[in-house]
Amino acid sequence: MPTGYSANDLVLLLPEIVLTTGLLVVLVADLFTGRSRQHWLGWLTIGVLVATAVPIVALSGHATTAARGLLAVDGFGAFFKLLFVLAAAITVLISRQYLEVEQARPGEYYFLVLCATLGMMVMAAGIDLITLFIGLETMAVSFYVLTGFLRPNRRSNEAAIKYFVLGAFSLGILLYGMSLVYGLSGTTRLREVAVALATQSDSLALKLAVVLVAAGMAFKIAAVPFHMWAPDVYEGAPTPITAFLSVGSKAASFAMLLRLLLEGLPAMAPEWRGLFYVLAVLSMTVGNIAAITQGNVKRMLAYSSIAHAGYILIGIVTATPRGVTAMLVYLMIYAFMQMGAFGVLALLRRRDVVGDELKDLSGLFFRRPLAAFAMLVFMLSLGGIPPTAGFMGKFWLFSAAIEAGYVWLAVIGVLNSAISLYYYVRVVVFMWMREELESASVHPSPGVAVALTVAVAATIIIGVYPAPLFELAEASAKTLGMAPRVLSLR
């Protein structure tokens, strides 16, 4: 064992260790599974995720660091890790039927989903620049492959290449910013960076570093003007991967952004607050207005996810405990409603129908009332209509903005969510108020049914009784930057 590591680290890193072991098992099991038994791999993957969730929950009460201070083990990390595991599980559940239609071999698919999850977990827990970067790369590379997973499908390939090239470009920018931070502070540990940089907030190089880091992360969360890849990639990727990308990758990037800004660069708050204020306004506005004219639902949801990134950025602008709490709440709610909406779309995929055009939803209510009901709940929630969870999330974000004095930001947010309803309701119109095009019916597999049921139930229950989630998020947000080391240094 290298110096500085202890047996205790093995316990603290248990979630990552379990997941890593599990993903290797899935990869090996794929070799020994016949074509007819491939669906067992899906359930094995679910098993791995459940096994990962157990130590996450068990360790959620800690507030310490592991691996010589590279990773934090705290409530904040645990909250996000649970979110990733959940999103990954829903992705796996809605994937099987979709992959069968696409005639793709699922083995390495599940492996890659788990790899991406591992990367996300490192992003949420890392408190060291290099560690965060490695987490980000692990996730990003997995997604590059997953996006292009449908080898015969050219849209999918094109999306993967586009994502890869632009991803590499933005990572270069991010890395440049990180290296500046390192150069100015002489350390890669975020909490030491914070101390070292506390006195030089006027340095122009540091401002440049903040801008570059912000730009690199803004690419990952698909904030305007770094969003252009999102609609193409979301449309081209396999639908379950689009779901995972728009929820998991976004949440992980927000977690990493919070770590970077609040743990490493709190001294620069005036700079990045203003920066993200502008990004938030642009993302909300451009995302929503561009979504209005989309005829392809995946594309529309891509623009809507850009707009949602804008809403969530409001929490960063406030940078108050309530703002961060609201971000956590919103990301969790967003995970359910967004994954659910893509789950319904994945359900519509058939051999001869892509199923992601608005007209493919025509008369869904008459074909599959329950699926249409689920989609109705997700659309209303995304639009922020009470009593769904989406309303609670928005209410909390906007009231956090008001509390922090950003009244106009809240007003712009409210105005945007009013605009957004237009295109969400259009989906409802197609499902409930249009004649169906053809009578062919889609039968959801048990996996899809479970995933959609969970997502619908969560969206409604959190909307009606959000208190437990609020409490959990509040407790988790409090632990950010609260590790003992920082307290002693300040």
Per CB under 8 A, residues contacting another protein are 154-155, 158, 161-162, 165-166, 169-170, 173, 204, 207-208, 211-212, 214-215, 219, 225-226, 228-229, 231-232, 235-236, 271, 275, 286, 289-290, 292-293, 322, 325, 373, 380, 385-387, 391-392, 395-396, 398-399, 402-403, 407, 410-411, 414-415, 418, 421-422, 425, 429, 432-435, 465-467, 470-471, 474
Closest approach, Cβ 249 to another protein, in A, equals 17
> Residue 285, class by beta-carbon neighbours within 10 Å (0-12 exposed, 13-18 middle, 19+ buried)?
middle
Residue with tokens 């809605």, as numbered in its chain: 94
Closest approach, Cβ 212 to another protein, in A, equals 7
Classify 155 as helix, strand or coil: helix
Measure the CA dihedral 124/84/413/407, to 10°. -40
33 vs 153, beta carbon nearer another protein: 153
Classify 126 as helix, strand or coil: strand
Task: List, as one string, the DSSP characters of 200-264.
Answer: -TT-HHHHHHHHHHHHHHHHHTT-TTS-THHHHHHHHS-HHHHHHIIIIIHHHHHHHHHIIIIII
Instruction: Give Cα 357 distance to the centre of its chain.
Output: 24
AA letter at 425: V
108 vs 436, beta carbon nearer another protein: 436
274 vs 484, beta carbon nearer another protein: 274
CB of 383 closer than 8 Å to CB of 307:
no
Of 285, 480, 307, nearest to 394 (Cα)? 307
Q: Is the peptide bond before 321 cis (omega within 30 degrees of 0)?
A: no
Q: Which residues of 232-267 are buried (b: 16+ CB within 10 A; e: fewer)?
A: bbbbbbbbbbbbbbbbbbbbbbbbbbbbbbbbbbbb
CB of 113 closer than 8 Å to CB of 146:
yes
48 vs 214, beta carbon nearer another protein: 214
Closest approach, Cβ 437 to another protein, in A, equals 15
Closest approach, Cβ 464 to another protein, in A, equals 8
84 vs 219, beta carbon nearer another protein: 219
Sequence-separated (6 or more) residues with CB below 8 Å from residue 165? none
51 vs 402, beta carbon nearer another protein: 402
Of 382, 372, 388, nearest to 444 (Cα)? 372
Closest approach, Cβ 18 to another protein, in A, equals 33
Closest approach, Cβ 261 to another protein, in A, equals 16
The tokens for 221 are 């969360």
63 vs 228, beta carbon nearer another protein: 228
42 vs 323, beta carbon nearer another protein: 323
Closest approach, Cβ 481 to another protein, in A, equals 19
Closest approach, Cβ 264 to another protein, in A, equals 19
Closest approach, Cβ 219 to another protein, in A, equals 6
Q: What are phi and psi of 182, to 5 degrees?
A: -65, -45
CA distance 125 to 129: 11
147 vs 325, beta carbon nearer another protein: 325
7 vs 204, beta carbon nearer another protein: 204
Q: Is the peptide bond before 2 cis (omega within 30 degrees of 0)?
A: no
Sequence-separated (6 or more) residues with CB below 8 Å from residue 366? 436
Residue 69 backbone class (left: φ over 0; alpha: ψ -120 to 50; beta: rest) = left
Closest approach, Cβ 55 to another protein, in A, equals 29
Closest approach, Cβ 207 to another protein, in A, equals 5
405 vs 446, beta carbon nearer another protein: 405
